[in-house]
């Protein structure tokens, strides 16, 4: 049986034509890949140029900001930007406040600085509270310490301090922000002390005016005693440092980052010992000036060791408080005065009443003896009634 076959039109594609189409599709794929590669390269070059420009601007910005310029290590971009923002805020606060507030209009900044330095008879300096680095020092430092501005700028303040005074200075630098950092250093143990100060009280520390004694090294390696009237807890440029001594109000607190940028603004002065000025007064002279007695407070353990010394003792004795703490008061007494002082010591330990000593001689740092009279009182524990320490009010007798 025969079947019918239907024949239809059939399109025949030559093999050569198929091969040519395959080659065209391969060329298209190659061109697409090349285009993608070129786009990636262009994007990388654009990003590289952008990063280079950003690094250039960050470097220029770092050179313009005083805090960045004073740092010895290379700062990251975020730190540079943060310091730049703080610097701009500081400048804005200065311009918003200094419209005739802190100086007369006829005085320039340079003239005001000259007047302050002449009145203080010292030198102005600024120290960063975080690392103790000297950020600014006036030219008058050469008249006192024989260092030039270039010798001290950017250097650590601790390098020119007496080793025994470092702990005392750290207390002053750390007290600008006690609660967050808890970096108060015990002058006896050299260990950090945790403070339970309420946050509201700690905010009173920034900008507080106070004074302390320390010894700085001269260029001739001689020790010089310094008194510094300090203002802490604010980051200020040179223009603000003058207004700080004139009673400028503190700016409001900024954000959390700006609070860590604090510095100490101080005037350092030579502090002569009063013992060098009263030797000409003879104890037997008939006529003496009617002066207010010079006094200082000290606290002692029951065996006579110094636990605390008021800084006014430096004016009288020449010793810094940190030099006396831990030593016994009997080490400085004249041997002939020890018997009646021992008797007064026993009396104050046995009685809750005040005991006034006879006039006695106390050896000063210069080796001469200073005439003192003390009023001793024992402090007793209100629960156990035991004596915990002695409080002495010491008066200079001319």
| CA 228 distance to own-chain centroid | 12
What's the longest Cα–Cα distance across the chain? 165
- Tell me what pLDDT residue 37 has: 75
CA distance 179 to 222: 37
Distance CA 135, CA 70 (A): 6
Residue with tokens 């006529």: 287
Whole-model pTM: value is 0.42
Local confidence band at 93 (pLDDT 50, 70, 90 cut-offs):
low
Q: pLDDT tens digits, residue range 94-142?
A: 555 544 455 666 777 777 777 766 666 778 888 888 788 888 888 888 8
Summarize the confidence of residues 170-182 as an average pLDDT. 56
CATH pick for 276-396 out of 3.40.50.300, 3.30.450.20, 1.20.1260.10, 3.30.720.110: 3.30.450.20
State yes or no: pLDDT of 361 exceeds 90: yes
Average pLDDT of the chain to the nearest whole number: 71
CA distance linking residue 335 with residue 338, whole number of Å: 5
Most confident of 7-16, 25-34, 386-395: 386-395
pLDDT per residue as tens digits for the range 74-85:
788 888 888 888
Q: What single DSSP character describes residue 207? A: T
Residues 343-359 pLDDT 10s: 999 999 988 889 999 99
Extract the tokens encoding 332. Answer: 């400085």
Confidence of residue 148 (pLDDT cuts 50, 70, 90): confident
Of residues 344 and 286, more confidence is placed in: 344
- The pLDDT value given to residue 246: 32
Q: HSE on the CB side for 395, CA within 13 Å?
A: 13
Do domains 107-271 and 276-396 share one topology? The answer is yes
CATH of 45-97, one of 1.10.3720.10, 3.10.20.30, 3.20.130.10, 4.10.280.10: 4.10.280.10
Per CATH, the number for 107-271 is 3.30.450.20
Domain residue spans in the chain?
45-97, 107-271, 276-396
Task: Taking residues 159-183, report their average pLDDT.
Answer: 68
Three-state DSSP class for residue 72: coil
User: Two tokens at 74?
Assistant: 């290379």
Residue 222 has pLDDT above 50, yes or no: no
More confident call, 17 vs 50 = 50
């Amino acid at each position: 049986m025969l079947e019918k076959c239907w024949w239809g039109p059939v399109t025949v594609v030559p093999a050569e034509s198929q091969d040519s189409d395959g080659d065209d599709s391969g060329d298209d794929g190659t061109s697409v890949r090349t285009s993608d590669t070129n786009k990636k390269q262009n994007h990388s070059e654009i990003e590289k140029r952008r990063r280079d420009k950003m690094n250039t601007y960050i470097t220029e910005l770092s050179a313009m900001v005083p805090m960045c310029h004073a740092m010895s290590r290379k700062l990251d971009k975020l730190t540079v930007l943060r310091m730049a923002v703080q610097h701009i805020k500081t400048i804005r606060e200065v311009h918003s406040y200094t419209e005739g507030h802190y100086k007369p209009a006829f005085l320039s900044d340079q003239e005001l600085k000259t007047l302050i330095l002449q009145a203080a008879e010292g030198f102005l300096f600024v120290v960063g509270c975080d690392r103790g680095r000297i950020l600014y020092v006036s030219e008058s430092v050469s008249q006192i310490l024989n260092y030039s501005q270039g010798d001290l700028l950017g250097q650590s303040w601790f390098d020119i301090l007496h080793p025994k005074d470092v702990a005392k200075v750290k207390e002053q630098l750390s007290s600008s922000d006690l609660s967050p950092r808890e970096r108060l250093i015990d002058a006896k143990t050299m260990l950090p002390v945790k403070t339970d100060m309420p946050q509201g009280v700690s905010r009173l520390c920034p900008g507080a005016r106070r004074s302390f004694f320390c010894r700085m090294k001269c260029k001739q390696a001689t020790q010089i005693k310094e008194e510094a009237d300090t203002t802490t807890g604010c980051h200020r440029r040179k223009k603000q440092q003058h207004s700080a001594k004139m009673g400028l109000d503190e700016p409001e607190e900024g954000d959390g980052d700006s609070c860590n940028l604090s510095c100490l603004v101080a005037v350092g002065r030579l502090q002569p010992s009063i013992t060098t000025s009263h030797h000409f007064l003879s104890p037997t002279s008939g006529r003496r000036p009617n002066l207010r007695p010079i006094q200082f407070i000290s606290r002692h353990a029951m065996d006579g060791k110094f636990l605390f010394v008021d800084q006014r003792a430096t004016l009288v004795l020449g010793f810094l408080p940190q030099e006396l703490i831990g030593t016994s008061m009997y080490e400085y007494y004249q041997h002939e005065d020890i018997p009646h002082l021992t008797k007064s010591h026993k009396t104050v330990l046995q009685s809750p009443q005040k005991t006034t000593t006879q006039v006695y001689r106390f050896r000063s740092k210069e080796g001469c003896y200073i005439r003192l009279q003390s009023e001793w009182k024992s402090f007793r524990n209100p629960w156990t009634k035991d004596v915990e320490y002695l409080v002495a009010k010491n008066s200079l007798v001319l």
